[in-house]
A and B are shown apart, each in its own frame.
Chain A
Amino acid sequence: MDKGYLTIALPKGRIAKEAMIYMEKLGIYDVVKSSSRKLIFTDEVIKVRYMFVKGVDVVTYVDEGVADLGVVGRDIVLEEGADIYELLDLGFGRCKFSIAGYPDTDLYSKDKVLRVATKYPNVTKKFFQSKNQPIEVFKLSGSVELGPLVGLSDVIMDIVESGSTLKANGLTVLEDITDISARLITNPVAYRYKRNRIKEITNMLEERLDKDND
């Protein structure tokens, strides 16, 4: 961990774009051109280093101490289950963790094993365990909606934004599990060693959030 710099891991893709807009408003993001293919950017003036990583890897970089802060969807925090601190709900990237399938699918028949396709096997197992429903999990890394369509699974467990992909494939939300949004995370060591800088940034973000909510 470099003492002088604050390293922030940002996810590539949907959340990255929203995070950028956010940082730009705060004036803590001048050096990064989102069109560029570079993966690391350094702002020498405020001594912040941004690294762009795959969304699911943000937790790993923060947990391992390579990054001091990370912006990541709560879905990934839940799935990874690492020892990290969640400092702030950033309010963007809102969606829901939901179970979806064909209408009228029985989720809790208990005596029948429910087959679930998902990108989130840990969250899925934990949820159905709490409901005492036996399941079989199929881990997929994309287009989870295919699961019920081709008979791989009875239902899917995924994050749902508008539900349009589900609708287009004749599927519907059967149950919402929890709300998801982007979170600012850190690890205990950075929290201690870079306390003031992290405080600075969270305060700035918090003020911004309050303004947006007004």
Chain B
Amino acid sequence: MTTKSIEETFNQQQTKLNIKRAFTDLLSDEGYLFYEPETFEPYDAFIRVNERIKPSSMVKVLDNTGHILVLRPDVTTTIINQLIPRFRNGGTIKLFYDTDIYAQSNGGVVEKMAQFGVEYLGSSTSTEASDSETVNLMLKLCDLFNVDYVVEIGNQKFLDALFKQMALPNEALHELKEIITNKNVSLLSAFMSRHPIKVNDKKLLDMLFRLEGDIDDIEEKLTGIRLDNMMKEALNELRLLRSTIETTTLKRKIIFDLSMLSKYDYYQGITFQGFTPSANRALIKGGRYNPINKTTNQRIPAIGFTIDMDALVKAVNQNG
């Protein structure tokens, strides 16, 4: 708990309320429905979806039968576990939520974070169209307020194609993902010297953290590298998405980055995260995750994002 003056506390909460109202109005106008996610997740189900989340970072609760529950550390997993099994194939649901998530810091402090999120489940036309609708909606929400922000956009398909080609044993793949998530240059070169990696993959890994900027820059850097179909598809999807974003926004606020990798393993396509100077963590996180509907065993197209409300309130208040 920080000690703020009572005026400051109410000022912040008023800003939060104003943001929520503006978001809710815009989203309702666009046909999005309000969704209230479950607070608790069975621990086992959560771990199955997210192998790389540190168990120590989750807040756990025991029920009286001895089952371990986690206080949801993110909402997307809740949607995958709660909503997707009941989803009718071929349908679409556009929803938004306004809720809290929980995490445990290294020092064992339980932290609550306010999140506002949007999900587009199913797709009425093509997944590319819903990618574009979702990313542009995210930009529209952020532009409601006079806030300085940038968004990195990547495509999980690109890295997944690389991982597939490399065919690493599970433990090594885990390690490599961790290294890429943390953009750890020195550990990456150490990793490459320890594992047998094909020349073409090595070239890609060597330049991975430089594969950012505009799509044209990225493709130029990739000349001479052999790309498989999935990688080409990943680049095409990004190019298509870029063509739907307004030029001024593109120039000022968007950076494409192929090395972007979330610590959440469920992403399948376009991914993005947004930053603002006044926050030390991501303001926006999102992407396409296409979860499997376990009742029909089919993948449901799904893309969504969350906005860190505390970070946004701070950014809005700072800009007066």
On whether the two chains bind one another, the answer is: yes
Question: Which residues of A are at the interface with B, using a C-beta cutoff of 8 A?
Answer: 1, 3, 63-65, 80-89, 122, 183, 187-189, 191-193
- What 8 A-B pairs have minimum CB-CB distances, sorted nearest first? A89-B186, A65-B280, A85-B183, A86-B184, A189-B275, A192-B275, A1-B277, A64-B280
B-side interface mostly:
loop
Q: Are B106 and A189 in contact (CB under 8 A)?
A: no
| Given A89-B186, A189-B275, 17 other A-B residues pairs in contact with their CB atoms under 8 A | A3-B277, A64-B280, A65-B280, A80-B106, A81-B106, A83-B182, A84-B182, A86-B184, A87-B185, A88-B186, A89-B185, A122-B106, A183-B186, A188-B273, A192-B150, A192-B255, A193-B150
B129 within 8 A of A: no
Q: Are B281 and A83 in contact (CB under 8 A)?
A: yes
Q: Are A86 and B279 in contact (CB under 8 A)?
A: no
Q: Are B184 and A85 in contact (CB under 8 A)?
A: yes
Q: Select which of B186, B255, B275 is within 8 A of A188 by beta carbon.
A: B275
Which residues of chain B from 122 to 153 have a CB within 8 Å of any chain A CB?
A: 150, 152
Q: Select which of B106, B152, B278, B281 is within 8 A of A192 by beta carbon.
A: B152
Q: Are A188 and B277 in contact (CB under 8 A)?
A: no
Chain B residue nearest to A65 (CB atoms) is: B280
Q: Are B186 and A86 in contact (CB under 8 A)?
A: yes
Q: Mark B174-197, 1 if CB is under 8 A from A, else 0.
A: 000000001111110000000000
B231 within 8 A of A: no
Q: Are A188 and B282 in contact (CB under 8 A)?
A: yes
Q: Select which of B184, B187, B255, B280 is within 8 A of A189 by beta carbon.
A: B280
Question: Which residues of B are at the interface with A, using a C-beta cutoff of 8 A?
Answer: 106, 150, 152, 182-187, 255, 273, 275-282
Hey, which chain A residues are within 8 Å of B282, CB to CB? 188
In the complex, A173 Cα to B236 Cα: how many Å? 54
In the complex, A158 Cα to B170 Cα: how many Å? 30
Chain A residue nearest to B54 (CB atoms) is: A81
Q: Are A191 and B106 in contact (CB under 8 A)?
A: no
Q: Are B185 and A86 in contact (CB under 8 A)?
A: yes
Hey, which chain A residues are within 8 Å of B184, CB to CB? 85-86
Chain B residue nearest to A1 (CB atoms) is: B277
**A84-B182, A86-B182, A86-B184 known; A1+B106 contact, CB < 8 A:** no
Q: Are B278 and A1 in contact (CB under 8 A)?
A: yes
In the complex, A191 Cα to B106 Cα: how many Å? 23
In the complex, A84 Cα to B280 Cα: how many Å? 10
Hey, which chain B residues are within 8 Å of A3, CB to CB? 277
* 6 A–B pairs (Cβ distance < 8 Å), ordered by A: A1-B277, A63-B280, A84-B182, A89-B185, A122-B106, A189-B279
Hey, which chain B residues are within 8 Å of A1, CB to CB? 277-278
Q: Select which of A63, A80, A85 is within 8 A of B182 by beta carbon.
A: A85
Q: Are A191 and B277 in contact (CB under 8 A)?
A: no
Q: Are A188 and B150 in contact (CB under 8 A)?
A: no
Chain A residue nearest to B277 (CB atoms) is: A1
| Interchain nearest-CB distance for B232 vs A (Å) | 27
In the complex, A188 Cα to B183 Cα: how many Å? 10
In the complex, A189 Cα to B149 Cα: how many Å? 10
Hey, which chain A residues are within 8 Å of B187, CB to CB? 86
Chain A residue nearest to B282 (CB atoms) is: A188
**A80-B106, A85-B184 known; A188+B278 contact, CB < 8 A:** no
Hey, which chain A residues are within 8 Å of B152, CB to CB? 192
In the complex, A3 Cα to B148 Cα: how many Å? 12
| Interchain nearest-CB distance for B83 vs A (Å) | 28
Hey, which chain B residues are within 8 Å of A87, CB to CB? 183, 185
Hey, which chain B residues are within 8 Å of A84, CB to CB? 182
Hey, which chain A residues are within 8 Å of B182, CB to CB? 83-86
Hey, which chain B residues are within 8 Å of A85, CB to CB? 182-184
Hey, which chain A residues are within 8 Å of B185, CB to CB? 86-89
Chain A residue nearest to B212 (CB atoms) is: A195
Hey, which chain B residues are within 8 Å of A188, CB to CB? 273, 275, 281-282
In the complex, A82 Cα to B276 Cα: how many Å? 19
| Interchain nearest-CB distance for B101 vs A (Å) | 16
In the complex, A176 Cα to B24 Cα: how many Å? 56
Q: Are B183 and A193 in contact (CB under 8 A)?
A: no
Q: Are A86 and B150 in contact (CB under 8 A)?
A: no
**A81-B106, A122-B106 known; A189+B183 contact, CB < 8 A:** no
Chain A residue nearest to B186 (CB atoms) is: A89
In the complex, A88 Cα to B187 Cα: how many Å? 9
Hey, which chain B residues are within 8 Å of A192, CB to CB? 150, 152, 255, 275
